[in-house]
Structure 1
Amino acid sequence: NATESTVSLRSLSADLSLGPAANATQFVGDWDEGERRTVAFEVTASNRTERRSYPFQTSVSYTDTGNQRTQDGPYTIGVQPLREQAFTLGNATSNLSVGDEGTTSTTVVNEGPQPIRNAVVRLTTSNQDITVQQEEIAIGTLEAGETANVSFPVEVSDNAQPGTQQFSFVVEYDNQAGNPRESDTLDAQIEIEPEEDPFSVGQRALQLQDENASGNETEDDPLTPGGTKTVTVPITNNRDVTLRNIEAQAFTDDPLSLANDQAFISELGPGETANITFEVSASGDARLGTYPLSLDFQYETPDGDTRLSDTYDVPVRVEEAEGGILSSLGGEDGGVPIWLLILIVLLVAAVLGYLLYRQRESDEPEAGAAATGGSMSSFEPTRAADSGATTGSSRPADPSDSSGSTED
């Protein structure tokens, strides 16, 4: 039997080393005759290493039964390195858009040949307008051939450009010997969508309610000059996250004015809609037409950031009451002012009056001529009586006239 046995290994290639040196020795101790022992050495391969057999020399030193120090070998053996530990990425997806927060997700595959321990996946990007809010995701132990899904929260600034951006994933892990290792960089192309408005403002769903209808408010009643309406505006959250403390600020210009210019929504979930209302008045001299009711929103994101939206314009129409004469004259677009319509009516009335006056003046001479002709005819029977006719005479008979009466 051998005692105080040691096994030595020496690399004959510069591409393979045993720790910091080219050789190493392991202590075995007592070694019975015919007994088989396995001795492990940690060998480091350089980046130049190929998948082929590399030469090593091994020898055994021990103390024999005669208490003599003896060495067997060296023996030359061949060692072929395993292929490099490899990882691949599955399909990388995201819901990122300019000026918004989102997530980037992918699947990490341990292609082997060895299992890994205490693994984490790290995400980086060189784009200064993109911030990875959590750079490392732990995946623990991953056997050869196994996969792990990872998802990273990412914020894209308002200054970022839409389009394809490169993201880099790295797997950090411990190998079988417990030594820390790092994978090659795994690059993925992620699409950044153009900036999306956080809200949709439902212009088509505007409800104009008549405050002067004694409770019979209808959506079809118009906002008339000098009138007031309640404008109801539906607001929809376009984001995939809940937005909170939404403060709406309204603005108008002449001829519109607001009784209240603020509204508040405590929170709005993804795709959720809420209604806000504003009291809108039109001045008495307002021209018929469509005017903007402008809105912007200050709101909080899930991470507590306060943001201000762009300005949205909601159309508010000022028109005559349904069925009005001036409304029909004014046309669909309300482009003709009321004062001009009134002036036209007055001018038409003046022209008609003048024409009637002239017609009467021309009719008076004709009427006088007709009256004169009638008087001359009435005196003709009198002249006939003077000539001896009995018809039409008004003179009394002369008693001294006895012509023909005594002879009878």
Structure 2
Amino acid sequence: MVASLLASAVPAVALTSNPNIQTVTSNPTLQPGGVNEVSFKLLNDGTGAEDETRDAYNVHVRPAGRVGPIEVETRELYVQSLPDGEPADLSLRLDVPANVKSGTYRIPLRLSYEYENGAGNDVERKTTIYLPVRVESGPQFDVVDTNSTATVGGTGTLEVTVRNVGTSTAYDSTLTLSSSAPDVSLGSGSSSTRFVDTWERGENRTFEFETSLRDSASVGNYSLSAQIDFEKPDGTTGSTPSLTVPLRALPEMTFDVSDLQSSLRVGEEGTVSGTVTNTGPMAADSAVVTLTDPGPTVTPIETSVAVGTLDPGQSAPFSFDIEITSSASAGPRQLEFGVTYQDRDGATRQAETIPRLVEVSGATPEFEVTPINATFAGGSSGTLELRVTNTRDRPLTDVSAKIYMDSPLSSTNDEAFIERLEPGESQTIRFQLSAGSGATAKTYPVKMDFQYDQPDGDTIISDTYQVPVEVTERSGGGGPPVLPIVGGALVLVVGGGYLYYRRQG
């Protein structure tokens, strides 16, 4: 009885226990279709509320790599010290497939830690604990297909197809697509949203997003993220984890301008022709080859030529009519060719311009003038006949020719007309020409020019041409005129006789 009273008067002594590590999570719910970040606490607590628990330190947590269809992306966690009642906040990344069955899953966590056993010795212990997680029934989503037309340095469309793989319909769903890459823009910013009022179980929905890639972007794959907020049939709300949406950055659409041929010549209208080839990764619909106006002395008659649809690797011919002014100089000229086209979404795109050198030849006469009859005796008149040949590669019309000359040459009919002169065609024109009686026998220049119309309707005045005209001695030979000499001689004879007669008389 005394012993019992003594025992009851002694207060109870708290027990000290070895570490007892547990997991605690407030929201273990997983959303299928992406990576879930599950937060939990690692708690070191004894079996009784009054007990003291020894500290655990150097705590290593190694989760299992896979639990059924769930893949654990986190490989290891570490806690330096875990005192009694002071939990450590940790998290696991769990990749949950969209078609996972609902239910509870237990994630094994292999622990290794050290503690002091009360006798001054450090003890290492290894054990396995479990983190329970739960997959609930309801709407679940999976990205089933993507397609992008965006090229580096350009704008295109990203199509994202998502399926409701869950067990029920989703209502008032909002899909938000986001980009964390600075080289990728969605619309005018880094994110864009789409709304679906009713999304049936098993139904696919395809969303289109305008996507832009900067010039600094790299060809290849980019990873965008999507999240879907929705309402369940029972009125509660839910959100998916981050869904991965791949984006393929395509190479820039490129074109090559080859086989360039130039008939450009100073003072004339010529042609630049060539072949354009689609060397890009996609088809170019309604392609148009463009020519940038190169300056005041080179004037394109047209600045765009339609070549139709070009599949990758396909080529098409093109041709531009270009006028080179008479003030231009001969030599190479750099022309800037471009290609506009429509992509698969029907949007008009502009490829980078392609600089190419073309040759501009020196000026040549429009006509070749060849004398047929250009010899006249002094003091005579006749017909000056000239053969005129069109040296250009296009027909010339309403060709008016006019001659100019100086004394001793003159003309009473100094104009001629040719209605039409085809390329390479020759016609003879005629003028009346007179050589003065006192003309010295030699070659004289007769100048002439032409006024004509080009096929585009422009009226042109040519440069001045010079035709040699030969003037020969008068008919009957050279020397002084015969009749005046004879008459003078007779006068002298007669006059001399008369004087002689008078003197004799």
The TM-score normalised by the length of structure 2 is 0.58
Instruction: Confirm or deny that 1:91 pairs with 2:259.
Output: yes
Contact between 1:7 and 1:39, CA under 8 Å: does it hold in 2?
A: no
Counterpart in the other structure of 1:25:
193
Which residue of 1 is the match for residue 394 of structure 2?
241
Partner of 1:394: none
What is the Cα deviation at residue 26 of structure 1? Answer: 3.2
Q: Which residue of 2 aligns with 1:172?
A: 340
RMSD: 2.5
Structure 2 residue runs without a partner (length 5+): 1-167, 487-505
Report 1:51-130 matches (<5 A): 51-130=219-298
CA offset digits 1:311-365 (Å, max 9, x no partner): 212222122479x664xxxxxxxxxxx44x99xx99xxxxxxxxxxxxxxxxxxx
Specify the code of the residue in structure 2 equivalent to 1:184. Answer: E
Alpha-carbon contact 1:103-1:151 (below 8 Å) kept: yes
- 1:261 aligned to 2:414? yes
Distance in structure 2 (CA, Å) of the matches to 1:91 and 1:6: 54
Match of 1:3 among 170, 178, 185: 170
- Measured at CA, do residues 118 and 29 of structure 1 come closer, stay the same or move farther in structure 2, by a change above 3 Å? farther
Instruction: Name stretches of at least 5 consecutive residues in structure 1 with no aligned partner.
Output: 209-221, 327-337, 347-408
Q: SS of the residue aligned with 1:181?
A: strand
2:349 pairs with 1:207: no
Q: CA deviation at 1:28?
A: 5.0
Q: Which amino acid aligns with 2:432?
A: E
- 1:327-346 matched pairs, under 5 angstroms: 338-339=479-480
Q: Secondary structure at the match of 2:279?
A: strand
Please state if 1:183 is matched with 2:338.
Answer: no
Deviation at 1:166, TM superposition (A): 0.8
Superposition deviation, residue 48 in structure 1: 0.8
Q: Deviations over 1:166-208 (max 9, x none)?
A: 11112222322233321111111111110111110013xx135
Q: Which amino acid aligns with 2:454?
A: T
In the aligned structure 2, how far is the partner of 1:292 from the partner of 1:307? 24
Partner Cα separation in structure 1 for residue 276 and residue 394 of structure 2: 26
The alpha carbon displacement at 1:39 in A equals: 4.1
The one-letter code sitting in structure 1 at the alignment partner of 2:261 is T
Instruction: Give, as a single letter, the amino acid of the residue that structure 2 aligns with 1:133.
Output: I
CA positional deviation for 1:33 = 4.3
CA distance in 2, matches of 1:35, 1:125: 54
Of the candidates 199, 204, 218, which is equivalent to residue 50 of structure 1? 218
Work out which of the two has the higher radius of gyration on C-alpha atoms and give 1 or 2: 1
CA distances 1:153-176 after superposition (whole Å, capped 9, x unpaired): 211111111100111112222322
Q: CA deviation at 1:89?
A: 0.9
Q: Return 148-157 or 137-146, whichever deviates more.
A: 137-146
Q: For residue 47 of structure 1, give the secondary structure of its aligned residue in structure 2.
A: coil
Equivalent in 470, 477, 488 of residue 317 of structure 1: 470
Partner Cα separation in structure 1 for residue 178 and residue 351 of structure 2: 28
Aligned residue-pair number: 316
Give 2:306's aligned amino acid: A
Equivalent of residue 226 in structure 1, options 379, 386, 395: 379
- The code of the aligned residue for 2:373 comes to Q
Kept in 2: contact 1:125–1:166 (CA 8 A):
no
